[in-house]
Chain A
């Protein structure tokens, strides 16, 4: 990486910088600016409340500073009359004032903590929903690289780092800065030369802060990366616990986990120790300053240039100058941790979906509820640039036709399905739905029209009914049962321990893969799209259920366009047309009955299939 090159940071847009261990120069500035923009945009809606909060803090600081002064007044003016048998009026007045100040301070603290807490929680809510929504918008090609564990890491530990900053950091910063400023002003009012001596350490403070910031940016970035590794390993182990246990992977897993966990602990230790140098370091500078000021000040007093009272006051204030420095050090600490998290989160938010929404003004729509035709127009596609999967594919599927795509594993069948569902965009050419380029259809329009049932029937936490209703969220129980009935799974689901309310367990673990596929089918029936894509959706079904699904498809697909990807030719019964794909090209195209007797590739596939039926 060449930081000197003016546009070097371009290479680190989006999540690319997550691989970066140490950012310097232009890249660091770029990442900082990006994080600042995100923080700014998160706080922007609260700027009014923040101004009020500022006022509350000022009042709170005042009421806090009044206390010691009143004690002094009480002792100087309130008590002497008592010793001479005078009235206790002054003393009582002072005490009353002190009580009022204390109560005011308590009230202001409540207001401050509550308001700041609300702002903080609102910001977190905003950040969470923003990042979550963005992850959902990003394309599959992103998710295939990024992995679920890292998504979880971003939305848990990174968000928590920012939570900590908002929870304690902001108030630390505000209090510290206010005390610092007021102290500096008072010191200059007291004695300018001595104040200059006292503040002589300021450049040193700036230097140590700059050093800390540089180091901390690095160690906290390490910690963020390490915690993501811990989370990834954790999530993956729990997701695959069956295989972990059946194959006795526990020991190896434990070794991997302990290693990444040790890395995380080491990164945490490094950052804590960095703070262990920085915090006491500022305090050390403070101590030296006190000693020097004392020495110089004492000489000035002896010279008659200033008074003992001024020196004493100055020393007291000096202490009050370096106390908040500790808070400031603590703030810098949480801030750096949050900054590393912000850097990653802003990177995610900067990622653009590879499969983008149409530009404003170019959106198109397709007529709802009507059969739509599908056209592949010179489509080329490659997952990796050097390995083309499809090259110049032309295909027209008339509205209402059911097309089966067959061919060997790796021939490109699933790619056709994924392009039609717009999981990816073609590298060349166009995919058209009802004469509209898919790239011009807004997501809600596209998903209303085109639905794909995939081989892995993923189930969410919840009941069987919840999972079927995923196909149409406003469906009631009757609709859900009707859909299940349509795919011939009603008796099966009704016969589960709690019927449709049976909880499917994590990732549907309590159901067999055949049952999961039936849920997925019922889902698709409920969605009832204009174009249905089935990608190996029935591979785990037994013959009777497969037949029921076939029958149901026969009804459902009347008047709909469908693309069925199949290894098994049993599905062909309901197809109007068969495409045989080989190495990304259509090698045969025709009605099933015609192809069966052609002596071509499909004829051979079909013979093998018939033989396999035994």
Chain B
């Protein structure tokens, strides 16, 4: 459901509330500045009519100083408005961006699977700065210009009412044009913003996927896609420029036509003698004051439309309720023992009508190590993702120590569960910070133990040891090194439940054997569930669950299953197929 635009912009007002005094200051300073500016010509008229006409040099200086003073006041007020605006508009933007980021961190993995980070980034950066510009400039001048308009019309009415009516009538075309423009411009500006997001996505993917692009020599293909997308953005932008061109020029016509009306009606009045010539001159010079407020309406309205669609895009994200979140009344998991039970678990990825898992029952006793075996696509990774609640079950339940995991606070659940993913994600931070990601208060000994258990001692040979920056902004590590760091990260906090997704796949046989040896001790003290492809790793497991097509078809000891199930043997390559032949020849 899409939030309607004007309401979306209206909804940013809680973020503006802290800056109400600043906004008021900006409006008042602008109005006062306009007043000071208006006073200057009046003083000049007095100088011309007074001292100059009468040749009084003595009276000149005070009046000239008055002009100087008025100019100084105008300057200071303009300075004040901009100075205040800097703090308010940027403070507003900063708070809203912080909140958006916080909300994105709360939204579950299923949301992030769906949403391209480019689209999210363009909301957090480009859209927010559009709103900031509106808040800092458009909003204030919308108010200031309206007040100026009403004030000048009032002044005109006191001079000669019929002409004031002619002038005030200009509000009709202005309103009509703005409404017409709004309808067409909203759609275009939304499209421009969406296409900017798409373009950002392409940039992000082309940068993160650079190795694959280079390995296949597909730079021209990727650049071609980008050019197509950039071309679409160009067409939409040109369309929006054309709309603005028409709108602005029509808006510019309004004050000119008003002036023509004033001149015609005023001339007739002068001809009939109901208005003096001097009166008409004064009148037209006042109407001239309205030219800028009317003309600037064009860009303010365009800015406001863009801000509305930008706000709608931002609230699309902020309105998404995290499906995986603390329930009301969720309890902390206190001194967990690690009894894991899955009952009747079924899971479908959001938006899919196929069951990735169905009817899964499992009971893993505290301290036990269970291995999950199954072919690629049988549901191992999906099952593991349910344990730290990266996704929630579609039916059935996952319980830890008798609590449905959905009744536990996320923080306490995830503190009890240590995970190593099949895709070891490292952040641009020091090795130490990457390892202590989930347990920043772990001791140096705990860290050292985890590093040696995972055979990750290579970290001590890095240029700055544990303080070496790794991840995207730091040193690139090999796949095997990253995997060992991910393993160390999972075990450093001695979690109650250890979840390891094919944790040794990138290690050579020698290192794997060492890791297994060391890991056996860790596994003795925690409950563990691991997805496994290699028979060698199965030595760590007390029991094995065999997954086929999202269902658990057998649970038992490795030796039993090997003996009983040909399909199990096939999955592990123990049926005399190709990989085994190497050994047979030897």
Main secondary structure of the interface of B (DSSP, over half): helix
Assembly CA distance A243 to B245 (angstroms): 48
Q: How far is the CB of B51 from chain A (nearest CB, A)?
A: 6
Inter-subunit contact B472/A247 (CB<8 Å): no
Q: Which residues of A contact B129 (CB under 8 A)?
A: 160
| A283/B75 contact (C-beta < 8 A), A102-B260, A470-B218 known | yes
Q: How far is the CB of A388 from chain B (nearest CB, A)?
A: 15
Inter-subunit contact B579/A543 (CB<8 Å): yes
Inter-subunit contact A246/B82 (CB<8 Å): no
Q: Give the residues from 61 to 86 in chain B that come closer than 8 angstroms, CB to CB, to chain A.
A: 61, 64-65, 67-68, 70-72, 74-76, 78-79, 82-83, 85-86
Assembly CA distance A308 to B48 (angstroms): 7
Inter-subunit contact B533/A540 (CB<8 Å): yes
Q: Is residue B11 contacting chain A, with contact meaning CB distance below 8 A?
A: no
Inter-subunit contact B267/A473 (CB<8 Å): no
Inter-subunit contact A135/B267 (CB<8 Å): no
Interface string of A136-178 (1 = CB under 8 A from B): 1100100110011101100111001000000000000000000
Segment of A204-212, A228-236, A477-485 in the binding face: A228-236
**Interface residue count on the B side (C-beta < 8 Å):** 179
Q: Is residue B534 contacting chain A, with contact meaning CB distance below 8 A?
A: yes
Interface string of B216-236 (1 = CB under 8 A from A): 111111110011001100100
Assembly CA distance A614 to B568 (angstroms): 14
Interface contacts beyond A291-B68, A308-B52: sample of 17 additional A-B pairs, CB < 8 Å, sorted by A: A75-B277, A98-B259, A132-B206, A152-B121, A156-B121, A227-B125, A244-B105, A268-B93, A269-B90, A277-B79, A451-B217, A458-B211, A506-B112, A509-B113, A512-B377, A518-B376, A544-B571
Assembly CA distance A107 to B574 (angstroms): 81
Q: Is residue B1 contacting chain A, with contact meaning CB distance below 8 A?
A: no
Q: Is residue A215 contacting chain B, with contact meaning CB distance below 8 A?
A: no
Main secondary structure of the interface of A (DSSP, over half): helix
Inter-subunit contact B204/A140 (CB<8 Å): no
Inter-subunit contact B267/A78 (CB<8 Å): yes
Assembly CA distance A107 to B252 (angstroms): 11
Q: Is residue A515 contacting chain B, with contact meaning CB distance below 8 A?
A: yes
Q: List 16 A-B contacts (CB under 8 A).
A: A128-B199, A160-B129, A234-B117, A248-B415, A253-B105, A273-B83, A286-B71, A291-B67, A294-B67, A298-B64, A299-B57, A443-B217, A461-B116, A497-B352, A506-B112, A613-B579
Name the one of B51, B114, B271, B481 contacting A79, with C-beta atoms under 8 angstroms. Answer: B271
Q: Is residue B270 contacting chain A, with contact meaning CB distance below 8 A?
A: yes
Q: Is residue A551 contacting chain B, with contact meaning CB distance below 8 A?
A: yes
Q: Is residue B208 contacting chain A, with contact meaning CB distance below 8 A?
A: yes
Assembly CA distance A291 to B67 (angstroms): 6
Segment of A19-27, A119-127, A195-203, A344-352 in the binding face: A119-127
Q: Which residues of B contact A492 (CB under 8 A)?
A: 376-377
Q: How far is the CB of A595 from chain B (nearest CB, A)?
A: 10
Q: Is residue A447 contacting chain B, with contact meaning CB distance below 8 A?
A: yes
Q: Which residues of A contact B82 (CB under 8 A)?
A: 272-273, 275-276, 279-280
Chain A residue at smallest Cβ distance from B535: A614
Q: Is residue B120 contacting chain A, with contact meaning CB distance below 8 A?
A: yes
Assembly CA distance A79 to B571 (angstroms): 101
Assembly CA distance A298 to B67 (angstroms): 13
Inter-subunit contact B419/A247 (CB<8 Å): yes
Q: Give the residues from 539 to 598 in chain A that come closer than 8 angstroms, CB to CB, to chain B.
A: 539-547, 550-551, 567-570, 572-573, 592-593, 596-597
Q: Which residues of A contact B220 (CB under 8 A)?
A: 444
Assembly CA distance A82 to B269 (angstroms): 10
| A105/B252 contact (C-beta < 8 A), A128-B230, A245-B390 known | yes
Q: Which residues of B contact A61 (CB under 8 A)?
A: none
| A567/B507 contact (C-beta < 8 A), A247-B414, A288-B68, A547-B577 known | yes
Q: Give the residues from 107 to 153 in chain B that come closer than 8 angstroms, CB to CB, to chain A.
A: 108-109, 112-118, 120-122, 124-126, 129
Inter-subunit contact A573/B121 (CB<8 Å): no
Q: Give the residues from 24 to 70 in chain B that come closer than 8 angstroms, CB to CB, to chain A.
A: 40, 44, 47-48, 51-52, 55, 57, 60-61, 64-65, 67-68, 70
Inter-subunit contact A114/B472 (CB<8 Å): no
Q: Is residue B458 contacting chain A, with contact meaning CB distance below 8 A?
A: yes
| A242/B217 contact (C-beta < 8 A), A230-B125, A248-B438 known | no
| A542/B571 contact (C-beta < 8 A), A239-B208, A512-B380 known | yes
> Which one of A82, A292, A612 has the greatest number of beta carbons of chain B within 10 Å?
A612
Assembly CA distance A451 to B213 (angstroms): 10
Assembly CA distance A298 to B116 (angstroms): 68
Interface string of B403-434 (1 = CB under 8 A from A): 00000000100110101011101011000000
Chain A residue at smallest Cβ distance from B212: A458
Name the one of B44, B104, B201, B210 contacting A143, with C-beta atoms under 8 angstroms. Answer: B210
Name the one of B94, B281, B574 contacting A614, with C-beta atoms under 8 angstroms. Answer: B574
Assembly CA distance A74 to B264 (angstroms): 10
Q: Is residue B572 contacting chain A, with contact meaning CB distance below 8 A?
A: yes
Name the one of B90, B196, B414 contacting A268, with C-beta atoms under 8 angstroms. Answer: B90
Inter-subunit contact B219/A148 (CB<8 Å): no
Inter-subunit contact A248/B200 (CB<8 Å): no
Q: Is residue B338 contacting chain A, with contact meaning CB distance below 8 A?
A: no
